[in-house]
């Protein structure tokens, strides 16, 4: 069962798992795709269908009438929810319905390919529960519908067989009109996948979470169950430091018939073990591989095997050697490196992994020391700074250093901030832009490449700088708007009218408003767009700042900087956007 189906988790749910800004970049040659989410489209020209795809944190800028229409947010099933009133929202059809004579549906928590999850009230014992309603498209053949219902029954059986605090509890399976409704505990929290959108985990917190997931896997393996889809979105961070492994919907129970869709590939590609990619019989080591990838992503902020499409991702799982962890050190790094061995026989067993994670989660305490610093004060008086004060000062120094990365200007480096480079985008783009040193140029498939478009992304895949040019000489149908502001309004109108690329959800609707601006003391336009992605499993809040400029020769330029709409990365993204706009240079103004 899935955590929350991609619905927003409670923003006020406290846990002791502290997030930190991303660590220094880990090199991934040719791999800017960092997040374990579906790909999203890049900025496009009015006369084109679509640009090459990128990972979900990348922007899905101004859309086109011909671009694919998304189905809207379709999260997977859920057993978690933010806190709030139990009254059913008026907009939820079906709220108030009584299931099996005891479960009163209150409000939808999320929905996905196999079901809708409701917050419900068990009126028999007077407690709130999560109820998963089966949802199978009517057009499916009867055999596939039966398979889907059997998969839900299997999901309930798999979880119900396990007695472990890190596995969600299944209370009941209510059969209504031959359809199984799964009744499970209501876990309040958010997924690890959502948490990692705001920063990375330190070694101790990552190891603590890893220990809980490992415990759930050990319990499953002892019961003859393989999970087969261990990933950050299926790890819940609940109240009171509870960690829950969810979504046993594709679990394989020993002795039962395998239920995979015809031609389907079960699981999330970048978390699937190499032996499963090769079609070999999986075992407990396959789930442990997935745990290793989760721990890598949790500490490094990047997914080591994610590529631009599923075949390339599977090839990287088989052949690519991930860079050594930079943030994970000591026993945790040893655990990750061991779990990511391609040969399952060479991976450490669960007992050894537990030993390493416990060492990482509970390092030996250093010998206590007393630190006192004497600083001269006015009028001959002394000022003593104790350990807590010094720690606070250290944090200020670190924060100042991070800020300096973005805004301190080197007087010998021209207008660029320290740690940035001016990137020439090529003759067809006919422009250059300032980009942080650790950003890498995004690569595309040959048949998707567009020589009037270029983009750079940070190693985590969360922030992207993209420039595209509409060439007036190529505009045979006179589709390029007459002014920069007209272009901004044209893009915005398509967003509001639903003619968007599939990665921008229409519910909630994007927010923004084009306005006049200046670029090098010339007329320009800009817009700040706030939108939610249409990721089927975990919608993300994104923000994009867009600058439009029309040159004298009629060419129109668009600079799009896209970054998370909340969390540690938001203000960093905004500062990067301001600097990128300031450093944009167009060859022919």
CA dihedral 61, 233, 28, 57 (to 10 degrees): 10
229, 247, 470, 491: which is the annotated catalytic residue?
A: 229
Is 438 tagged catalytic?
A: no
Q: At what angle do helices 203-222 and 350-361 cross, to 10 degrees?
A: 150
Of 31, 432, 21, 6, the closest CA to residue 191 belongs to 6
Of 463, 538, 533, the closest CA to residue 503 belongs to 533
Tell whether 487 is in a known binding site: no
Residues 323, 27 contacting (CB under 8 angstroms): yes
Q: What is d(CA 393, CA 544) in angstroms, rounded to the nearest whole number?
A: 34
In this structure, what token pair is assigned to residue 537?
């499993």
Bridge partners, residue 53, by sequence:
41
Q: What is d(CA 546, CA 60) in angstroms, rounded to the nearest whole number?
A: 12
Of 288, 264, 262, 263, the closest CA to residue 275 belongs to 288
CA of residue 511 relative to chain centroid, distance:
21
Q: Which residue has the tokens 């001016």?
A: 422
Q: What is d(CA 471, CA 480) in angstroms, rounded to the nearest whole number?
A: 9
Q: What is d(CA 19, CA 568) in angstroms, rounded to the nearest whole number?
A: 9
What does residue 384 show for φ and ψ, rounded to 5 degrees? -95, 135
CA of residue 218 relative to chain centroid, distance:
27
Residues 202, 20 contacting (CB under 8 angstroms): yes
- DSSP-derived letter for residue 364 is P
Q: What is d(CA 416, CA 437) in angstroms, rounded to the nearest whole number?
A: 11
Q: What is d(CA 578, CA 393) in angstroms, rounded to the nearest whole number?
A: 28
Q: What is d(CA 125, CA 221) in angstroms, rounded to the nearest whole number?
A: 32
The Cα-based distances of 348 to 187, 341, 342, 361, 474 in angstroms read: 31, 9, 12, 18, 59
**Catalytically active residues, by annotation:** 229
Q: Indicate the annotated binding residues for ATP.
A: 132
């Amino acid at each position: 069962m899935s955590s929350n189906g991609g619905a927003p988790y409670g923003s006020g749910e406290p846990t002791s798992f502290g997030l930190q800004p991303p660590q220094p970049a880990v090199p991934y040659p040719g791999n800017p795709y960092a997040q374990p989410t579906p790909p999203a489209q890049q900025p496009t020209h009015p006369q084109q269908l679509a640009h090459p795809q990128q990972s979900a944190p990348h922007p899905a800028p101004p859309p086109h009438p011909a671009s694919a229409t998304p189905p809207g947010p379709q999260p997977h099933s859920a057993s978690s929810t933010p806190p709030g009133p139990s009254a059913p929202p008026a907009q939820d059809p079906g709220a108030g319905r009584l299931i099996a004579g005891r479960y009163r549906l209150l409000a939808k928590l999320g929905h996905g390919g196999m079901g809708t999850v409701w917050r419900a009230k068990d009126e028999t014992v007077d407690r709130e529960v999560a109820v998963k309603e089966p949802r199978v498209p009517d057009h499916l053949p009867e055999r596939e519908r039966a398979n889907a219902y059997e998969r839900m029954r299997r999901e309930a059986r798999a979880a119900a067989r396990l007695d472990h605090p890190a596995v969600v509890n299944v209370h009941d399976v209510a059969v209504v009109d031959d359809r199984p409704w799964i009744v499970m505990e209501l876990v309040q929290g958010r997924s690890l996948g959502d948490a990692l959108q705001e920063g990375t985990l330190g070694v101790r917190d990552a190891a603590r979470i890893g220990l809980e997931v490992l415990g759930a896997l050990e319990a499953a393996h002892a019961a003859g169950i393989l999970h087969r889809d261990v990933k950050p979105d299926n790890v819940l961070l609940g109240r009171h430091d509870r960690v829950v492994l969810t979504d046993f919907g594709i679990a394989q129970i020993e002795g039962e018939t395998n239920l995979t869709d015809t031609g389907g590939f079960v699981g999330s590609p970048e978390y699937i073990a190499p032996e499963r990619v090769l079609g070999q019989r999986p075992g407990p080591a396959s789930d442990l591989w997935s745990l290793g990838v989760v721990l890598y992503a949790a500490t490094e902020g990047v997914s080591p095997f994610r590529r631009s499409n599923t075949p390339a991702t599977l090839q990287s799982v088989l052949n690519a050697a991930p860079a050594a962890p930079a943030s994970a050190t000591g026993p945790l790094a040893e655990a990750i490196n061991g779990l990511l061995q391609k040969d399952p026989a060479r991976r450490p067993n669960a007992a050894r992994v537990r030993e390493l994670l416990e060492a990482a989660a509970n390092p030996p305490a250093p010998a206590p020391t007393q630190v006192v610093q004497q600083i001269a004060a006015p009028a001959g008086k002394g000022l003593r700074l104790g350990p807590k004060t010094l720690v606070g000062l250290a944090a200020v120094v670190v924060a100042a250093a991070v800020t300096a990365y973005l805004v301190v200007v080197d007087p010998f480096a021209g207008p660029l901030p320290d740690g940035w480079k001016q990137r020439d985008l090529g003759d067809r783009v006919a422009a250059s832009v300032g980009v942080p040193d650790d950003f890498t140029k995004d690569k595309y498939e040959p048949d998707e490449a567009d020589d009037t478009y270029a983009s750079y992304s940070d190693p985590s895949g969360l922030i992207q700088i993209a420039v595209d040019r509409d060439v007036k000489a190529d505009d045979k149908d006179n589709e390029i708007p007459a002014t920069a502001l007209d272009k901004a309004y044209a893009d915005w109108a398509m967003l509001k009218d639903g003619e968007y690329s599939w990665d921008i959800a229409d519910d909630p609707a994007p927010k923004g408003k084009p306005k006049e601006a200046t670029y090098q003391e010339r007329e320009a336009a800009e817009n700040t767009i706030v939108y939610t992605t249409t990721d089927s499993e975990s919608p993300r809040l994104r923000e994009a700042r867009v600058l439009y400029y029309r040159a004298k020769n009629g060419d129109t330029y668009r600079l799009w900087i896209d970054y998370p709409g909340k969390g540690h990365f938001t203000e960093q993204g905004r500062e990067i956007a301001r600097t990128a706009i300031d450093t944009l240079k167009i060859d022919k103004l």
